[in-house]
Amino acid sequence: MTDDDLVFKALADPTRRFLLDRLFERDGRTLTELESELEMSRFGVMKHLRVLEDAGLVVARRKGREKLHFLNPVPIRLIHDRWIDKYTERRVSALANLKSELEKQA
Amino acid sequence: MTTTTQQTPVTTQVYRVYIKATPEAIWDAITDPDWTERYGYGGRVEFDLRPGGRVIGYTSPAMREQGAPEVALEGEVVEADPPHRLVQTWCLVMGPEMAAEGFTRLTYEIAPIDGGVTRLTVIHDLEGAPIQAQLISGAFESGGGGGGWSWILSDLKSLLETGARMAA
């Protein structure tokens, strides 16, 4: 699998997107913290984190006795620069603006 | 739901990119002003590569045309172990609010992986520097503030792998 494949595969799962959203909200969390927000076994969360790490979307670093998980946005940036910028940025941002305008009115 | 883990706010940001280039090439791209002006914010950064040595980053000509001051960032080398590890202090001094936040700590880790690929990890500890933290996370990109570390590293990867920057 290419790097892009790993990222798309990692993002194709709602639990993994949920984990990324939690890290976006507050970065550098332990497995225990992340686990407490999910109805899932510790082993299950570990497996999902592993997929995210393999895709480079999460970087784990030791701090003292703890292992902290950080969101790494670079792979998403690379996909953005490769797939969005090149072909469709103008149209996509126009649509994104339209969506937020419409949602504001709703 | 209760948690027994102490939740101290984490002010560290971590960025990682894999680049098909040697560790030496990546080290040069970070520390040689002739390279630093070719990607990211496009300013020359001069390093005195020894502990206590001065780091000074200049604004790009394009930024100065828009009225930016000459110096963009200041810092000091903490540890220089070419081409593996560089630790420095780092402070954006382009505006009084950011300059007042003071120095942050920036670490580059460069590690060779199989197949001529090198892993570059940037660890930026931004304790006490919320404005600088927002800027380098890319939060001001739509206002012309650049895309921060993800943007810089994506551009660096493009430059080293293809010889060209991303399409501007």
Strand locations in B59-142, DSSP E? 71-81, 85-92, 104-112, 118-125
Cβ of B164 under 8 Å from any chain A Cβ? no
What span, in angstroms and rounded, lies between the C-alpha atoms of B131 and B111? 30
Q: For B25-84, how does the pLDDT look when each residue is reduced to its tens digit (9 = 90+)?
A: 999 999 999 999 999 999 999 999 999 999 999 999 988 998 899 999 999 999 999 999
| pLDDT for the residue numbered B141 | 81
Q: Are A26 and B10 in contact (CB under 8 A)?
A: yes
Amino acid at B121: T
CB contact under 8 A, B13 and A26: no
By the 10 Å C-beta count (0-12 exposed, 13-18 middle, 19+ buried), A8 is classed as middle
CB contact under 8 A, A28 and B17: no
CB contact under 8 A, A27 and B121: no
End-to-end CA distance of chain B: 48
Judged against a pLDDT cut of 60, whether residue A61 lies above it is answered with yes
State which fold the A1-72 domain adopts.
Answer: Arc Repressor Mutant, subunit A (1.10.10)
Tell me, what's the ipTM?
A: 0.83
What span, in angstroms and rounded, lies between the C-alpha atoms of B149 and B106? 11
What is the number of structural domains in chain B?
1
- The pTM of this model reads 0.86
Residue B6 lies in a domain: no
Judged against a pLDDT cut of 50, whether residue A40 lies above it is answered with yes
For residue B161, the distance in angstroms to the closest alpha carbon of chain A comes to 13
Residue B4 lies in a domain: no
Q: For chain B, what is the mean pLDDT?
A: 91
CATH number reported for the structural domain that contains residue B136 in this entry: 3.30.530.20
Cβ of B18 under 8 Å from any chain A Cβ? yes
Which residue, chain included where needed, has tokens 């739901």?
Answer: B1
Residue B93 lies in a domain: yes
Write down the domain spans for chain A.
1-72, 73-106
Q: Please state the separation of Cα B117 from the chain's center in Å.
A: 20
What span, in angstroms and rounded, lies between the C-alpha atoms of A74 and A100? 25
Percent of all residues in chain B with a pLDDT value above 90, rounded to a whole number: 79
Who has greater pLDDT, B89 or B10? B89
Q: For B99-117, how does the pLDDT look when each residue is reduced to its tens digit (9 = 90+)?
A: 999 999 999 999 999 889 9
Judged against a pLDDT cut of 90, whether residue A101 lies above it is answered with no
Domain that holds residue B126: 12-162
Residue B3 lies in a domain: no
| pLDDT for the residue numbered B3 | 47
Instruction: Name the residue of chain A whose CA is nearest to B6's CA.
Output: A33
